[in-house]
Amino acid sequence: MTRHKQFNWPGLVFTIGLLFAWEMAARSVNSPSFPGFLAVLQALTQDAANLVTQMGITLVRGAAGFALALAVMLPLGIFIGRTPRIGRYVEPAIDLLRPLPPLAIVPVAMLFAGTGSVAKISVIFYSAAFPILINAIDATRATHPLLLNVGRSIGLSRSEIMRLIDLPAAMPQIVSGVRLGLAVALLVSVSSEMLLSTDGMGNYLMRAQEQFQIAGGLAGILTIALVSLAINTVVLRIERSLLAWHHARHGMAHV
């Protein structure tokens, strides 16, 4: 039976201790360059409406780039993993492109798409694409040959084998790639807005830095952290639901 995960009280106590130490250190320094946690909370509440708006803009862009990467790279990864001949042609290009930092393609995106949302979504798509693609390829290739033989013996076509055998069998590793792609997409969403945008959380942080609004900038960072934590919590719940059979088979709850 799957055990329910207990609340992490030690982690909560440690986090509260860090925030308390931060506040005490800021009060001892007493400098506008080092605001305390309470000052950051005050800045967050005072600018909450703007922070929500800018965070929403960032999330929409991140979701668009991530959804496009998922829709394209997941089936492509399964196809490449199941078709070794195609893999021999495309894998050198994949190995060449995947080490490139996503922000390194910003000039290329600007050249072809300007500085609008299309450029930012293109950079986000690129950043999320490779974690999803690589995990889908590797997971598909790791599918047990017995499952494939069963599929062929009952007359399944190649597309049916990919959909009915490869996808479920590879799901645990695919989900790991999707989670990584989602985290990278959010990270690059903010980073790309620092270079290409006049709105969004990336631009908000840049304006706070230029105007020496340290507390405001930290409030923006805190907002990103809280939203990221909420997204990760939702994704973990979805993962537990999708992979309940996997965790049950291994006799352990997801951490």
Q: Does residue 247 surpass a pLDDT of 90?
A: no
Predicted local distance difference test score (pLDDT) of residue 217: 94
Q: What percent of the chain has pLDDT over 70?
A: 94
For the chain, the domains span 36-249
Identify the H or E element spanning 246.
helix 244-249
Q: Does residue 113 surpass a pLDDT of 50?
A: yes
Q: Identify the weakest region by mean pLDDT among 7-11, 21-25, 229-233.
A: 7-11
Q: What is the DSSP string of 93-143?
A: HHHHHTTS-GGGGHHHHHHHHTTSHHHHHHHHHHHHHHHHHHHHHHHHHTS
What does the pLDDT look like over 153-163, one tens digit per residue? 888 887 777 77
* 109-114: long-range pairs with CB below 8 Å, 24+: 109/196, 110/196
pTM value is: 0.84
Question: Which superfamily is assigned to 36-249 in CATH?
Answer: MetI-like (1.10.3720.10)
Predicted local distance difference test score (pLDDT) of residue 253: 46
What does the pLDDT look like over 178-193, one tens digit per residue? 899 999 999 999 998 8
Question: Is the Cβ–Cβ distance between 15 and 222 less than 8 Å?
Answer: no
